[in-house]
């Protein structure tokens, strides 16, 4: 039997990282999860070993990389909450940029020169045109988006001066869950629309807050591009293979290309639950763009990737996970 190629997955106990570990396992790789469990779940680590550690801890990284000798790194580990990035920009940059540099330097000391990085459509900022392709100007609206753009810029320098190759994946809105219910979305605090709306539909929250209903969109609410987390996971495996096959450093948008308004999302969840739930209209949130939709042509042609799941499947899988998995998870 062939040995599985080890891949270090920083942040692999989190939402998108754990689904990527599932797909890495199915593709014949051995995911080595490196996570400090600040926002991840030990029970999400099911397809390879867990090394508890912080990306800010150079000595721990050196030891783990020496033990497992991964062929490449997939880097998800970060703070992800925009509100926290505004409240505590220093702590946010220290983790997302400082910790990331520590990880990159440990990788280079270990002789690893390939990395897939979790970036975001938030690096684009306010849309100049929609759908947005990879050439769209990058002018992030908050420290979260800026922390990701800074890492993209560092990766460009590492490529140019140190032959360290990377694929930057800019996700739109990750959503859904493993259809078999083994893993799913649970953030603390939860700020993502689908789990919040599902909690409202199930009566676990009093209502769903609608931030802004006067945008210049088809029903006045924000338009977002919801992409199934397993479609994202598939793209990570393809990006990894791209690097292992000698592909050059590049960036890909990962979204479906279909926009859904918040009201449409609420309607779809109400249909799934058979119960309308209360909406609380609220002011626009600072920094929320009216419409964020991906042009995914580059990932389709470059990686041979295409999303498999539609919005109804995203909601069905998220609903099933919420009812059976998320509520059982306790810190």
Alpha-carbon distances of 215 from 115, 192, 260, rounded to whole Å: 38, 19, 14
- Whether the Cβ atoms of residue 72 and residue 32 lie closer than 8 Å to each other: no
Q: Name the DSSP class of 125.
A: B
Alpha-carbon distances of 124 from 56, 157, 174, 224, 295, rounded to whole Å: 27, 20, 17, 14, 13
Under the criterion CB under 6 A, does residue 43 sit at the interface with ligand NAD? no
Q: How many residues are given for the chain?
A: 331
- Whether the Cβ atoms of residue 226 and residue 173 lie closer than 8 Å to each other: yes
Least distance from C-beta 192 to ligand NAD, angstroms?
6
According to CB under 6 A, which one of 26, 28, 38, 282 is a site residue for ligand NAD? 38
Question: Which of positions 181-200 make contact with ligand NAD (CB under 6 A)?
Answer: 187
According to CB under 6 A, which one of 32, 35, 277, 309 is a site residue for ligand NAD? 35
Under the criterion CB under 6 A, does residue 118 sit at the interface with ligand NAD? yes
Under the criterion CB under 6 A, does residue 40 sit at the interface with ligand NAD? yes
The structure tokens 């996970």 sit at 321
Cβ-based nearer residue to ligand NAD, 25 or 187: 187
**144 is known as an active-site residue:** yes
Under the criterion CB under 6 A, does residue 80 sit at the interface with ligand NAD? yes
According to CB under 6 A, which one of 7, 8, 9, 17 is a site residue for ligand NAD? 17
d(CA 262, CA 222): 6
Least distance from C-beta 274 to ligand NAD, angstroms?
27
Catalytic residue among 144, 171, 215, 309: 144
Under the criterion CB under 6 A, does residue 46 sit at the interface with ligand NAD? no
**Bridge partners, residue 252, by sequence:** 169
d(CA 23, CA 19): 6
**Residues in contact with ligand NAD by the rule CB under 6 A:** 11, 13-17, 35-40, 54-56, 76-78, 80, 95, 99, 118, 120, 171, 173-174, 187
Q: Which residues are catalytic?
A: 144
């Amino acid at each position: 039997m062939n040995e599985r190629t080890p891949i270090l997955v920083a942040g692999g106990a989190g939402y998108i990282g754990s689904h990527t570990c599932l797909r890495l396992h199915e593709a014949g790789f051995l995911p080595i999860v490196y996570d400090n469990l600040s926002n991840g779940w030990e029970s999400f680590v099911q397809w390879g070993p867990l090394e508890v550690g912080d990306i800010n801890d150079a000595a721990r990284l050196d030891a783990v990389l020496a033990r497992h000798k991964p062929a490449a790194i997939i880097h998800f580990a970060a703070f992800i909450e925009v509100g926290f990035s505004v409240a505590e920009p220093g702590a946010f940059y220290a983790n997302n940029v400082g910790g990331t540099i520590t990880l990159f330097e440990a990788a280079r000391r270990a002789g690893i020169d390939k990395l897939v990085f979790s970036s975001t459509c938030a690096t684009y900022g306010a849309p100049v045109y929609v759908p947005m392709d990879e050439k769209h100007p990058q002018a992030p609206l908050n420290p979260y988006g800026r922390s990701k753009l800074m890492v993209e810029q560092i990766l460009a320098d590492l490529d140019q001066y140190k032959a360290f190759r990377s694929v930057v994946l800019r996700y739109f809105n990750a959503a859904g869950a493993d259809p078999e219910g083994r893993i799913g979305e649970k953030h603390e605090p939860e700020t993502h629309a689908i789990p919040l709306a599902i909690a409202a539909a199930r009566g676990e929250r009093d209502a769903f807050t609608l931030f802004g209903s006067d945008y210049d969109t088809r029903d006045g609410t924000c338009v977002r591009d919801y992409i199934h987390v397993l479609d994202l996971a598939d793209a990570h495996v393809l990006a990894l293979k791209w690097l292992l096959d000698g592909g050059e450093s590049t960036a890909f948008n990962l979204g479906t290309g279909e926009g859904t308004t918040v009201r449409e999302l609420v309607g779809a969840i109400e249909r799934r639950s058979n119960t309308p739930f209360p909406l609380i209209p609220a002011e626009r949130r600072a920094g929320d763009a009216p419409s964020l939709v991906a042009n995914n042509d580059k990932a389709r042609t470059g990686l041979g990737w295409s999303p498999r799941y539609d919005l109804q499947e995203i909601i069905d899988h998220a609903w099933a996970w919420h009812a059976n998995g998320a509520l059982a998870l306790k810190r």
